Amino acid sequence: MATTLTDSAFSAPGAARKADKLARLLAKERPLVMGVLNVTPDSFSDGGRFLEPPLAIVQARRLAAEGADIIDIGAESTRPYGGAVSVSLEEERRRLAEVLPAVVALGVPVSIDTLKAPVAAWALECGATIVNDVWGLQRDPDMARVVAEHGTPVIIMHNRETADPVIDIIADVAAFFTRSLDIAAHAGIARERIVLDPGIGFGKTAEQSLACIARLAAWRSFGLPILVGASRKRFIHAVVPSEPAERLGGSLAAHLAAVENGAAIVRVHDVAATVQALAVAAAIRRAR
Ligand code: HH2
């Protein structure tokens, strides 16, 4: 059974402590559940629902109560399916200003989902303890330095400007990870602070997203924990036509398969249902 993590020491300053805490989180004998909090007007599945700070804070409390191990907060939609409206640095910080400290105060480790190094730096100073970069340190040239200087764990996610149906997506993701890991090593980011993520739905056809989940073990050779974020994504619609809000069944199936294939963390909108599904799957495995 998953437990809510309320270890406030996770957000204590100090590089070593932050890295140790990631290691301790990952050492739990179950996959971790990262709950998504989108403080945005335009996220693909819940845009506008949590833009008002009081609503965002209520949602963060709900994610924590339902058993999220990490809360991933973002204030700029990354629009995996195009049509991104970029948000200024000031606007992104303004959206987060009231919400982030209240979320940090819940005691659940917080990751900041941002493309901008100054937003990441500011969020880390507010108590966030993980950086989630959906361009894997390859977009903002200052991101790796910020991560290294704060000694914080970082999620390196694969991305592409456009999907190319003819490429070998497994090899493309591996090459991207190799580039990101070189950037990280150059900046002095310790390897044990890195989590890899194939970026389900980002610059991928539905078939390629499915292949990434099916062949997760292909990236085991990097020797790093893997995060999978399949929640409500469009590849589910390609299998069973459905609106984003109707994709819970597909999200659960995808995350259970990801965990079966070695994912250490799943990034989800529906924490309670995911925690329950993972607990039952684990109980069945134990009963073998
Ligand atoms: N997916 C989204 C955003 N951030 N970060 C990681 N590491 N992995 C993911 O798969 C991932 C991510 C897209 O989901 P959401 O945040 O709900 O949508 P939007 O980007 O439109 O706000």
256 lines ligand 1 (CB under 6 A): no
Distance from C-alpha of 254 to C-alpha of 236, rounded to nearest angstrom: 9
Give me the tens of pLDDT residue by residue for the chain, a chain 288 residues long.
333 333 333 333 455 566 667 788 888 889 999 999 999 999 898 888 999 999 999 999 999 999 999 999 999 998 777 666 789 999 999 999 999 999 999 999 999 999 999 999 999 999 999 999 999 999 999 999 999 999 999 999 999 999 999 999 999 999 999 999 999 999 999 999 999 999 999 999 999 999 999 999 999 999 999 999 999 999 999 999 999 999 999 999 999 999 999 999 999 999 999 999 999 999 999 999
Say how many CA atoms lie within 13 Å of 235 toward its Cβ: 23
For strands 265-268 and 110-113, give the pairing.
unpaired
Q: Is the CB of 36 under 6 A from ligand 1?
A: yes
CA of 286 to the centre of ligand 1 (A): 32
Cβ of 194: how many Cβ atoms within 10 Å?
A: 23
User: 65: how many CB neighbours lie within 10 A of its CB?
Assistant: 13
Our answer on whether the CB atom of 133 is closer than 6 Å to any ligand 1 atom is no
Predicted confidence at residue 78, as pLDDT, reads: 86
Catalytic residue check, 28: no
The Å distance, Cα 201 to ligand 1 centre, comes to 9
Closest residue CA from atom 18 of ligand 1: 43
Atom of ligand 1 nearest to the CA of 201: 10
Residues forming beta bridges with residue 154, ordered by sequence position = 131, 194
- Residue 61 in contact with ligand 1 by CB distance below 6 A: no
Distance 53 CA to ligand 1 centre (A): 20
Assign 3-class secondary structure to the chain. Answer: CCCCCCCHHHHCCCHHHHHHHHHHHHCCCCCEEEEEEECCCCCCCCCCCCCCHHHHHHHHHHHHHCCCCEEEEECCCCCCCCCCCCCCHHHHHHHHHCHHHHHHCCCCCEEEECCCHHHHHHHHHCCCCEEEECCCCCCCCCHHHHHHHHCCCEEEECCCCCCCCCCCHHHHHHHHHHHHHHHHHHHCCCHHHEEEECCCCCCCCHHHHHHHHHCHHHHHHHCCCEEECCCCCHHHHHHCCCCHHHCHHHHHHHHHHHHHCCCCEEEECCHHHHHHHHHHHHHHHHCC
Atom of ligand 1 nearest to the CA of 229: 10
Give the number of the atom of ligand 1 that is nearest the alpha carbon of residue 232.
17
116 part of the active site: no
